[in-house]
Amino acid sequence: MNPFNDEYFMKQALVEARAAAAEGEVPVGAVIVCNNQIIARAHNQTERLNDPTAHAEMLAITAAVGVLGAKYLTGCSLYVTVEPCVMCAGAIGWAQISTIVYGASDEKRGFQQYAPKALHPKAVVRKGIMETACMEEMQNFFRQKR
């Protein structure tokens, strides 16, 4: 049995999402995995950095290419708690990430509705991994904000 499965890595992304919430950021967390090893982890920092592009996925991609010393992340997997937005999907596509795994769908801003072909054509998408936990993280955050 492989302990390093989708649930294991999504739990790591949830750790990042909770760190974002603790900082007052929208709780989205991401990890990038290569050869069953986390090479990058990040969470939203749009408020902290005063930067609308500082999404978890964007920050994780930047960290991962720095670790690998390459601009393409072919053979890597991205685990993110919420469906990427169009901007992030474009970056994921340009980075040529092979597998995208997300928890909760985002019907308002998710890429699947607006730009379903933004990812690399060979990319594999798995959705709904730990969906309830990921969705509850977002709901709890916005419930406290109201």
Q: What is the C-alpha to C-alpha distance for residues 78 and 145, in angstroms, rounded to an integer? A: 28
Instruction: Decide if 16 is catalytic.
Output: no
Q: What is the C-alpha to C-alpha distance for residues 17 and 142, in angstroms, rounded to an integer? A: 13
User: 97 near 105, Cβ under 8 Å?
Assistant: no
Q: What is the C-alpha to C-alpha distance for residues 93 and 145, in angstroms, rounded to an integer? A: 33
User: 35 near 9, Cβ under 8 Å?
Assistant: no
Find tokens 């969470």 and name the residue.
Answer: 43
Pinpoint the alpha helices (H) of the chain: 6-22, 46-49, 56-68, 86-95, 111-114, 131-145
The one catalytic residue among 16, 25, 57, 137: 57
| Nearest residue to 104 (alpha-carbon basis) of 126, 134, 84, 59 | 134
- List residues with catalytic annotation: 57
